[in-house]
């Protein structure tokens, strides 16, 4: 099963994808995590990615497509994958369709999350992420704080604030998202595999609630 997570930064894609990974037992692959790992290690790819990400811009299509193509060749994703952060442009979506077709697969469902802009900014500024790459649990120090400040409930690792989780970068990322990525909603809507839902405290519906709905939907598919 191939699941794609769509939505602007801060809509809860990582939270929903993490729960789906656990409940459906298929790997979650985040291009952002791959880039951050390389940035931390100071690799050539990491330096290239940082030059774009630090300004709130998207990493070029060709670089991202190659990374995902290589990841899809790995054994652990043979029975399914949750793509979080890819595709981000129609070109990437078209290339993904070709890659999957060559493997006799297709995109099964595209989960599109929406959240009001002011709520997105509030969430991202207050977001903390587990530093353990095998855990990567996401917290919000206002909405979903850890039991012990600065420490992950699940594995006991330190919680960190991402460098790009600030108001200026978030606003740039949102502007970029709506300009470049939102056409993907129309692309997948035409294909008939889009599932859109709002994630917002104003309607008392958070990522955990969406994930629960999706697990039921996909298990009965």
Phi, psi of 163 (to 5 degrees): -60, -35
DSSP 3-state assignment of 12?
coil
Give pLDDT tens digits for 93-141: 999 999 999 999 999 999 999 999 999 999 899 999 999 988 888 899 9
Q: Write down the pTM of the prediction.
A: 0.76
DSSP string, 142-173: TTB--SBTTB-TTT-PBEE--TT-SHHHHHHH
Set 21, 88, 123, 136: catalytic member: 88
Say which CATH superfamily domain 2-116+166-219 falls into. Answer: P-loop containing nucleotide triphosphate hydrolases (3.40.50.300)
Q: Does residue 71 have an active-site annotation?
A: no
Q: Which tokens is 90 given? A: 């129609």
Q: Does residue 13 have an active-site annotation?
A: yes
Set 37, 105, 161, 162: catalytic member: 162
Domain ranges, ordered by start, for the chain: 2-116+166-219
Give pLDDT tens digits for 146-187: 999 999 999 999 999 988 899 998 898 888 888 888 889 999
Set 13, 21, 123, 136: catalytic member: 13
């Amino acid at each position: 099963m191939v699941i794609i997570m769509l939505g602007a930064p801060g809509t809860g894609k990582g939270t929903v994808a993490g729960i789906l990974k656990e409940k459906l037992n298929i790997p979650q692959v985040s291009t952002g995590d791959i880039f951050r790992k390389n940035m931390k290690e100071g690799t050539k790819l990491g330096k290239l990615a940082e030059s774009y990400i630090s300004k709130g811009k998207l990493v070029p299509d060709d670089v991202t497509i190659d990374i995902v193509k290589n990841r899809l060749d790995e054994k652990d994703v043979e029975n399914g994958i949750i793509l979080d952060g890819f595709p981000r442009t129609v070109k990437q979506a078209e290339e993904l369709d070709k890659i999957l077709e060559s493997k006799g697969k297709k995109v099964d469902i595209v989960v599109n999350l929406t959240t009001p802009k002011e709520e997105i900014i509030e969430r991202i500024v207050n977001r903390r992420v587990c530093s353990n790459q095998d855990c990567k649990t996401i917290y919000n120090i206002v909405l979903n704080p850890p039991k012990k400040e600065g420490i992950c409930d699940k594995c006991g690792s330190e919680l960190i604030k991402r460098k790009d989780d600030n108001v200026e970068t978030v606003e740039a990322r949102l502007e970029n998202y709506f300009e470049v990525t939102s056409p993907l909603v129309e692309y997948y809507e035409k294909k008939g595999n889009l599932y859109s839902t709002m994630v917002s405290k104003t309607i008392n519906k958070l990522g955990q609630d969406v994930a629960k709905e999706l697990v039921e939907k996909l298990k009965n598919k």
